[in-house]
């Protein structure tokens, strides 16, 4: 069959985009020699920063999961005045420039604000601490969790919950036995998106906490101080480890969903 | 059994106004009405699934208006089955047992009986995604009855099914109703379905109840133009009543009895009107001369429109009769009907 010109336009645009995304990444991954990669992974600073990136992002996702799930459910199931506004506010962190996020958080958590003073009295430090990093990462990551999970809840017919209630289950039992298992996949996608967003954050973190150093900040520092060649191996390790983790998570859960 | 008093509901899309209804123990009661009449809302109000504005609902002698759905002793079956997709047929059916204190042996017996009556034994380990529509609805009914509710609420349970399955599920429902002490309350927009299942019924329109009564009563003695039209009384004319006759735009129709009011409506079912080429010498008291002005093919039947005076009568006759009468548009014919076939209100 002869294809129309339009078909070839769509294909060539697709190829350009694929190349645009893949070529720099391949270049990045193949640039450092194996020896340099090995040397980098033995560097305690590198290991520490990648580990810090991983677990702060994980904590951000955990906080999003605990606090965000009920809100996502509320937004999916009920209609109230100002719902659009709430949804708009949730999307704000996506739109705000990253350094601005950092500045905004510092202006509340800093010493010049009563909230910052209160935190200080409680012994909680945001500036230059793991707490600060997790705060920033949750701020930028939670919209992704909320939106994915809300879509998941919306896809579940409210009738399933109604039937469950009529069969004697309380609201809570209905949520744990019906809604939660059915939304699990969307929640997991939300967690992965939230983590991915958190791991990639640089601009907001660098303002709140240059030290302790997360991987993107370390990569930036090495680039500034020693140049491209020295930042590449760290980047390769960060990208590979994140990709493998996400892949594993997806395979594990998709597999489970299909079994059911 | 179910008593509803002064029920008003205000949802955005639907409103129910001043619903009063009495449903008896162990009856098969049907709520009828066109789409959007508020039938499902009323059903869900009984189940406690929609907020009500004013009014009271009793199930048995319990006042349930303020109770959550799980405390009302009801079960619900939806048109789209609403099976839990992540649970097997067996786990779906026994879902309610987690929340009810039912004796183990009793539960096992009921399960065996439901699997048998609804012919589900061979499907126990399947997931809902691998079932046909009829099978899904049978599972849904079994799940609802497994907890031995006082009331089974059915929301258009047959509407989404293919005709073959519909017949089969309808049969199951009838059997289950006969052999259990559960009160069945079913919503449908299909009058024929209601006729084959119900003892008593109510017709709803625009959030109100138009008529309540035995299904035969509603069928034969509709109390309003809306109900008459809904139950298929296609010949519906405003008329004045005089002695035992109705005068409809100059045409005098013999009723064989005196009407209750001076003005009102007469209604005649299309299948009660006979069409012939010559004047009939029969016991039928009403016979008019008319002209065939339209013939609509309806499968086994034709709906024949006959103009008599200023009125258009609709008659349902078999294709065979149309063939035998050599009926065509423009033919002069006689239309006849018994006085008992004329309903007044």
> How large a percentage of chain B has pLDDT more than 70?
100
pLDDT digits (tens, 9 = 90+) for B247-279: 998 889 998 888 777 888 888 888 889 999 888
Cα distance between the two ends of chain B: 30
pLDDT band at A215 (very low <50, low <70, confident <90, very high): very high
Percentage of chain B exceeding pLDDT 90 = 54
Give B82-106 pLDDT, tens digit per residue.
999 999 999 999 999 999 988 999 9
Burial of A53 (0-12, 13-18, 19+ CB in 10 A): buried
From the list A140, A219, A60, A166, the residue with the least C-alpha distance to B154 is: A166
**pLDDT for the residue numbered B192:** 72
B39-48, B211-220, B261-270: which has the highest mean pLDDT?
B39-48
C-alpha distances (whole Å) from A257 to each of A157, A184, A185, A187, A254 are: 18, 9, 7, 13, 5
Contact B164, B132 (CB under 8 A): no
Q: Above 90 in pLDDT, residue A209?
A: yes
A contact test, residue of B59, B86, B142 with most A CBs within 10 A: B86
Minimum CA–CA partner of A167 in chain B: B96
pLDDT band at A259 (very low <50, low <70, confident <90, very high): very low
* Tens digit of each residue's pLDDT (9 = 90 or more) over B140-177: 999 999 999 999 999 999 988 887 788 888 888 999 99
DSSP H/E element including B44: helix B39-47
pLDDT of residue A99: 94
Instruction: Please state, rounded to an integer, the average pLDDT across all residues of chain A.
Output: 92
| A246 SS3 class | helix
Q: Alpha helices of chain A — where are they, by DSSP H?
A: 5-30, 34-41, 44-77, 83-95, 98-109, 114-121, 130-154, 158-166, 171-174, 180-199, 203-208, 215-226, 228-259
Q: Which of A21-25, A81-85, B180-184, B280-284 has the lowest mean pLDDT?
A: B280-284
Q: Helix (H, G, I), strand (E, B), or coil: what is residue B265?
A: strand
> Which of B48, B82, B99 faces A163 most closely, judged by CB atoms?
B82
- pLDDT, tens digit, 9 for 90 and up, residues A1-47: 678 899 999 999 999 999 999 999 999 989 899 999 999 999 999 99
Test B44 with A157 for CB contact under 8 angstroms. Answer: no
Say what the pLDDT of residue A256 is: 56
Question: Is it the case that residue B225 has pLDDT exceeding 90?
Answer: no
Is residue B230 very low, low, confident or very high in pLDDT (cuts 50, 70, 90)? confident
Please, is B282 exposed, middle or buried when counting C-beta atoms within 10 Å of its C-beta (0-12, 13-18, 19+)?
exposed
Cα-based torsion angle of the residue sequence B66, B68, B72, B74 in order, rounded to the nearest 10 degrees: 130
Could you read off the pLDDT of A122-136 as tens digits, one per residue? Answer: 999 988 999 999 999
Q: SS3 for A42?
A: coil
Q: Is the pLDDT of residue A60 over 80?
A: yes
Tell me if chain A has a CB within 8 Å of the CB of B157. no
* Candidate from A174-178, B262-266, B326-330 with smallest mean pLDDT: B262-266
pLDDT at A260: 43
Chain A CA closest to residue B70: A168
Distance CA B251, CA B236 (A): 14
For strand B183-188 and strand B151-155, is the pairing parallel, antiparallel, or unpaired?
parallel
CB-closest option in B80, B143, B153 to A159: B80
- Strand, coil or helix: what is B260? coil
Residue B283 pLDDT: 76
Percent of chain A whose pLDDT exceeds 90: 80
As a whole number of angstroms, the distance between CA A230 and CA A226 comes to 6
pLDDT value, residue B284: 79
Q: Which residue carries 């009058």 as its tokens? A: B191
User: Is pLDDT above 60 for B281?
Assistant: yes
> How many Å lie between the alpha carbon of A164 and the closest alpha carbon of chain B?
8
Mean predicted confidence (pLDDT) in A145-162:
95
- Give me the long-range contacts of A246-249 (CB less than 8 A, separation at least 24): A246/A192, A246/A195, A246/A196, A249/A188, A249/A191, A249/A192
Least confidently predicted of A250-254, B4-8, B222-226, B329-333: A250-254
Looking at beta carbons, which residues of chain A come within 8 Å of B80?
A: 157, 159
A244 contacts: CB under 8 Å, gap ≥ 6:
none
pTM of the model: 0.79
- Whole-number pLDDT of residue A157: 95
**Measured between CA atoms, how close is A189 to chain B, in angstroms?**
18
**The Cα angle at residue B124 between residues B121 and B130, in degrees rounded to 5:** 115
| Residues facing B288 on adjacent strands | B335
Peptide bond into A29 cis (omega under 30): no
């Amino acid at each position: 069959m002869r294809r129309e010109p339009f078909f070839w336009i769509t294909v060539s645009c697709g190829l350009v985009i694929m190349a645009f995304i893949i070529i720099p990444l391949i270049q990045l991954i193949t640039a450092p020699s194996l020896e340099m990669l090995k040397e980098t992974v033995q560097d305690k600073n590198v290991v520490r920063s990648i580990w810090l990136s991983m677990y702060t992002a994980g904590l951000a996702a955990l906080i999003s999961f605990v606090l965000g799930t009920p809100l996502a459910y509320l937004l999916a199931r009920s209609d109230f005045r100002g719902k659009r506004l709430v949804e708009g506010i949730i999307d704000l962190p996506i739109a705000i420039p990253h350094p601005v996020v950092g500045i905004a958080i510092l202006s509340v958590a800093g010493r010049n604000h009563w909230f910052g003073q209160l935190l200080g009295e409680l012994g909680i430090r945001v500036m230059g601490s793991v707490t600060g990093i997790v705060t920033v990462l949750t701020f930028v990551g939670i919209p992704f969790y909320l939106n994915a999970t809300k879509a998941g809840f919306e896809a579940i017919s409210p009738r399933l919950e109604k039937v469950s209630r009529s069969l004697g289950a309380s609201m809570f039992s209905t949520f744990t036995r019906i809604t939660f298992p059915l939304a699990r996949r969307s929640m997991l996608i939300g967690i992965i998106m939230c983590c991915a967003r958190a791991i990639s954050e640089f601009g907001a973190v660098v303002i709140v906490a240059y030290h302790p150093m997360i991987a993107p900040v370390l990569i930036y520092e090495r680039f500034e101080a020693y140049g491209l060649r020295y930042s590449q191996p760290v980047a390769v390790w960060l990208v590979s480890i994140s990709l493998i983790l996400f892949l594993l998570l997806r395979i594990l859960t998709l597999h489970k969903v299909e079994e059911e | 059994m179910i008593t509803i008093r002064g029920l008003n509901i205000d949802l955005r899309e639907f409103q129910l106004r001043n619903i009063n209804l009495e449903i008896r123990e162990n009856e098969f009661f049907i709520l009828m009405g066109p789409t959007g009449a508020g039938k499902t809302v009323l059903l869900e109000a009984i189940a406690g699934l929609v907020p009500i504005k004013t009014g009271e609902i009793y199930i048995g002698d319990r006042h349930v208006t303020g109770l959550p759905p799980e405390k009302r002793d009801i079960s619900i079956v939806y048109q789209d089955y609403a099976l839990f997709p992540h649970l097997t047929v067996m786990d779906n059916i026994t879902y309610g047992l987690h929340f009810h204190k039912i004796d183990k042996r009793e539960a096992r017996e009921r399960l065996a009986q439901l699997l048998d009556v609804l012919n589900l034994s061979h499907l126990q380990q399947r997931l809902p995604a691998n079932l046909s529509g009829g099978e899904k609805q049978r599972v849904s009914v079994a799940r609802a009855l497994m907890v031995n509710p006082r009331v089974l609420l059915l929301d258009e349970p047959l509407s989404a099914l293919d005709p073959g399955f519909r017949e089969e599920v309808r049969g199951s429902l009838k059997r289950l109703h006969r052999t259990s002490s559960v009160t069945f309350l079913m919503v449908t927009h299909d009058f024929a379905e209601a006729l084959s299942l119900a003892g008593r019924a109510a017709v709803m329109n625009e959030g109100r109840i138009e008529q309540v009564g035995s299904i035969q009563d509603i069928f034969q003695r509709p109390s309003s133009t809306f109900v008459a039209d809904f139950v298929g009384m296609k010949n519906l004319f405003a008329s004045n009543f005089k002695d035992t006759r109705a005068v409809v735009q100059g045409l005098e129709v013999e009723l064989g009895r005196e009407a209750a009011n001076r003005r009102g409506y007469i209604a005649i079912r299309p299948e009660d009107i006979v069409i012939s080429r010559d004047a009939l010498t029969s016991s039928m008291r009403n016979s008019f001369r008319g002209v065939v002005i339209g013939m609509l093919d309806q499968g086994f039947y034709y709906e024949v429109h006959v103009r008599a005076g200023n009125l258009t009568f609709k008659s349902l006759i078999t294709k065979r009769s149309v063939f035998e009468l050599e009926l065509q548009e423009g033919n002069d014919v006689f239309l006849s009907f018994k006085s008992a076939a004329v309903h007044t209100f």
